[in-house]
Structure 1
Amino acid sequence: MSNTDVVITGLGATTPLGGDVASTWDGLLAGASGVRTIEAEWVERLDLPVKIGATLAEEPSERLPRVQARRLDRCEQVALIAARQAWADAGFEQPTDEHTDVDPDRLGVSIGTGIGGPTTLLSQHDLLREHGIRKVSPLTVPMLMPNGPAAHVGIDLKARAGVHSPASACASGAEGIASGFEMIRSGRADVVVAGGAEACIHPITIAGFAQARTVSTRNDDPAAASRPFDAHRDGFVLGEGSGVVILERADRAKARGARIYATLSGYGITSDAYHITGNHPEGLGQIAAMANAIKMAGLTAADVGHVNAHATSTVVGDVGEAAAIRTAIGNHPVVTAPKGALGHLVGGAGAVEGIATILALYHGIVPATLNLEDLDPKVQLDVVSGEPRKVELSAALSNSFGFGGHNTALLFTAA
């Protein structure tokens, strides 16, 4: 490990499987499902064709003071919860005016989101229309703006080296981590709080995805609805949550005796320039993202022993990614797809799945892909199903692909 390496020293998350990293990881290993019937009055009132979602296992109100929670959009709430967990896991104390463990001028934040605060926007619009301007909250804009999650984390942790909020749809969380990597490598920061967040389970998002026919309608069996790589998949399940990692310059982490989970050794970011929702038919952007991540890390495809697939459980997307993985890396890596258990966390997906990839590398065990019972014959990969698989790993890659043709691949190596 070089002193100029960027290492991961803290992990935080709140997801459909659990309110922290430990419960989420345990849920992945146990084959638990975070998909459930949405408990909201609008589900039946609007008679939506999709009545399921991967809602949070733990409400943010269980972690945040009531007054603070009311001043934040749900997306901002989950980002703040995950960031505080990661900060504490890295061994840092919550900053005060008198004390900070990290020089604020050398501390950055990079937390992406795909959509931001639509629930605030729509609820406040309803208040304006029904009751007039006096009922509209003065915090409406800070709550709905996409940079809100990153901004609130930056304020909470007193980060002054820069706060960034990538918005690249389902690749936002992974791009947030890649952006944090660049902040450290460029010399702008010593520590970066990086990841992604999303909380947009709402009638308009459910309806929009349903009209686009991209989401599962398996309402009678929610736990079995998200089926990455399975021959009988019928779409993804919309989820919510956040994942945050602490990125730190290696020499600094070693000097303070920090636990190092892994090294972020490379990333690849490309764009398809093809279609606003569909993948490039030849997977050119996905292939290039993976190849660029491997090249930046100074490795070869043969070194990559594990791939955390984006695999959302859509009919076309899963097959396209499988082909891209075979082309860029080969069919030797052990592959898993956490969205079978987590659902699709959109802007939070790449960060939470990045954490799962880090833990697979750290513990030497790859979680099984939930609900994979009949592997699509077009998916010619070694996809783990049934039970987790123990495997010796030195390098693992996590894919995240988003609407607009955004492709991000993160390459982690063992510490």
Structure 2
Amino acid sequence: MKPVRRIGILGGARIPFARQNTQYVDASNIDMLTAALKGVVDRFGLNGERLGEVAAGAVLKHSRDANISREAALSSGLSPQTPAYDVQQACATSLQTAVLVGSKIALGQIEVGIAGGVDSASDAPIAVNEKLRKLILALNRGKTTSERVRMLMQLRPSMLKPSIPNVNERRTGLSMGEHCEQMVKQWKISREAQDALALASHRNGVRAYEQGFYDDLLVPFGGLKRDNNLRADTSMEKLVKLKPAFDLTSGHGTLTAGNSTPLTDGAAAVLLASEAWAADRGHSPQAWLVDAESAAVDFFGPKPEGLLMAPAYAVPRLLARNGLTLQDFDFYEIHEAFAGQVLCTLAAWESADYCRNALGLGAPLGTIDRTRMNVNGGSVGLGHPFGATGARILASAAKQLSLHRAKTGTSGRTLISMCAAGGLGVTAILEG
């Protein structure tokens, strides 16, 4: 059996993220993913190269787009002999694609691959009414003209109403924001704390742009050169004026448009390779993908868990397997689906009762240094195209570790934590 090899993260590229129905209103998932892949191809001189594979995906995907990764790869400059496939795991999609590509590298099945993701909230798929869909299928099965006529006579005006996509959970009928409202009430997370975290997300992102952190990570696209959700002029005074966005009946909602991620369009990709492949091409990995862990929670049963709490379970298993504590990290990248969701997860790790009763631990995981969290901006500030955020985080985290190593002369470690719809979570450890 071949020994497990190290998984190098060489770097990544993404297009600027755009709020729904702004600059990318006419761009498709394939358009955007192609631009991100081409950014990686151009940056690393991969034009005409056959890679081990490309793995990407989208959450909001048209039925006609059976394999957007393959279509984008074919237009990216890579050799047409490069295999490609789609993955969908909600907000964690492109972190999971990196885990899949990385696992094949570790096992010696491939030497190099690109992981990524994309989503367009502006070009969301619209389906026909379910009754009309079934009638059309039945009409197509009709053998005779009289059969088809009888079926057409069943058509009613109400069937012409389209089915608009939403982000509601199928098993509960609640949106992710409504689920998060339940979580922040359970954990007693204040509106002030959520707004403060949201403000830090914007300020850290703005500072990263000012310092040139994103200069080699972004590929201009659709007239944008930076994320258009980022607000340099936001403040606590402005955030506190915003009305609740999800709990509109009780009058006690604390999630707002300011402390939640906006619906966003965008794409991101990251190049992973074996140590030998990188050395042969003259590349030095910015970081190493060390390990990953997934989890899921029961958010709809008799004793439901918070929809977005799965990372709280994944992280302690990941730490135990690697002999680490929650404090053994130089940086933390915690996906901000909502500021409140991040604060619930941190509170869970600090709670002795929760860690003992829910996680089965002998002691709480403890606190983290908040100044090390999302240091170059988070999803609230930068935006969150569902399928692209994992690759955005991975590429940024790898670069941050390389800068840390260059500045201090020592290696560092980053914990990545992502919640996802469906009660899912994916976490990972980077070293570099």
Query: Which bracket does the TM-score occupy, shorter chain normalised?
Result: 0.5 to 0.7
Give, as a single letter, the amino acid of the residue that structure 2 aligns with 1:321. Answer: T
Seen in structure 2, the aligned counterparts of structure 1 residues 83 and 330 have a Cα distance that, compared at 3 Å, is farther
Is 1:114 aligned with 2:59? yes
SS at match of 1:303: coil
Kindly report which structure 2 residues correspond to 1:183-262, keeping only aligned pairs within 5 A, or say none.
183-202=104-123, 208=166, 212=175, 214=177, 223=231, 224=234, 233-234=255-256, 235-262=260-287
Deviations 1:32-59 (A, max 9, x none): xx65x844xxxxxxxxxxxxxxx55xx9
Tell me which stretches of 4 or more aligned residues in structure 1 moved more than 6 Å: 203-207, 390-393
Indicate the structure (1 or 2) with the bigger Cα radius of gyration: 2
> For the residues of structure 2 that align with 1:339 and 1:330, how far apart are their CA atoms?
24
Partner of 1:330: 366
Gaps of 5+ in 2: 127-163, 169-173, 179-194, 196-228, 243-252, 356-363
Give, as a single letter, the amino acid of the residue that structure 1 aligns with 2:166. Answer: G
Is 1:152 aligned with 2:72? yes
Once the two structures are TM-superposed, the CA of residue 363 in structure 1 deviates from its matched residue by 1.9
Partner of 1:169: 90
Partner of 1:85: 39
SS at match of 1:346: coil
Which residue of 344, 348, 368 corresponds with 2:384?
A: 344
Partner of 2:293: 268
Q: Higher relative contact order by CA 8 Å / sep ≥ 6: 1 or 2?
A: 2
Is 1:400 aligned with 2:320? no
> For the residues of structure 1 that align with 2:266 and 2:421, how far apart are their CA atoms?
19
Kindly report which structure 2 residues correspond to 1:44-63, keeping only aligned pairs within 5 A, or say none.
none
Once the two structures are TM-superposed, the CA of residue 209 in structure 1 deviates from its matched residue by 5.2
Once the two structures are TM-superposed, the CA of residue 301 in structure 1 deviates from its matched residue by 3.2
Once the two structures are TM-superposed, the CA of residue 232 in structure 1 deviates from its matched residue by 5.9
Deviations 1:98-153 (A, max 9, x none): xx3xxx3x611111222223xxx6xxxxxxxxxxxxxxxxxxx2xx33x3134431
Is 1:318 aligned with 2:318? no
Once the two structures are TM-superposed, the CA of residue 325 in structure 1 deviates from its matched residue by 5.0
Once the two structures are TM-superposed, the CA of residue 190 in structure 1 deviates from its matched residue by 0.4
Partner of 2:305: 280
Once the two structures are TM-superposed, the CA of residue 356 in structure 1 deviates from its matched residue by 2.0
Partner of 1:382: none
Give, as a single letter, the amino acid of the residue that structure 1 aligns with 2:8. Answer: V
Seen in structure 2, the aligned counterparts of structure 1 residues 159 and 272 have a Cα distance that, compared at 3 Å, is farther
Conserved 8 A contact 1:281-1:320: no
Q: How many residues align?
A: 301
Give, as a single letter, the amino acid of the residue that structure 2 aligns with 1:400. Answer: M
Is 1:181 aligned with 2:102? yes
Conserved 8 A contact 1:267-1:292: no
Gaps of 5+ in 1: 17-33, 40-54, 61-72, 122-140, 366-389
Conserved 8 A contact 1:82-1:242: yes
Deviations 1:53-101 (A, max 9, x none): xx55xx99xxxxxxxxxxxx61111111111211232x32310xxxx3x
Which residue of 401, 407, 415 corresponds with 1:361?
A: 401
Give, as a single letter, the amino acid of the residue that structure 2 aligns with 1:363. Answer: L
Seen in structure 2, the aligned counterparts of structure 1 residues 252 and 271 have a Cα distance that, compared at 3 Å, is same
> For the residues of structure 2 that align with 1:273 and 1:161, how far apart are their CA atoms?
38
> For the residues of structure 2 that align with 1:279 and 1:88, how far apart are their CA atoms?
47
Conserved 8 A contact 1:79-1:197: yes
Partner of 1:13: 14
Conserved 8 A contact 1:10-1:88: no
Conserved 8 A contact 1:3-1:250: no
TM-align CA RMSD: 4.1
Seen in structure 2, the aligned counterparts of structure 1 residues 267 and 283 have a Cα distance that, compared at 3 Å, is same
> For the residues of structure 2 that align with 1:347 and 1:175, how far apart are their CA atoms?
10
Conserved 8 A contact 2:34-2:75: no
Once the two structures are TM-superposed, the CA of residue 289 in structure 1 deviates from its matched residue by 2.2
> For the residues of structure 1 that align with 2:230 and 2:398, how far apart are their CA atoms?
28
Partner of 1:302: 327
Give, as a single letter, the amino acid of the residue that structure 1 aligns with 2:28. Answer: R
Conserved 8 A contact 1:6-1:184: yes
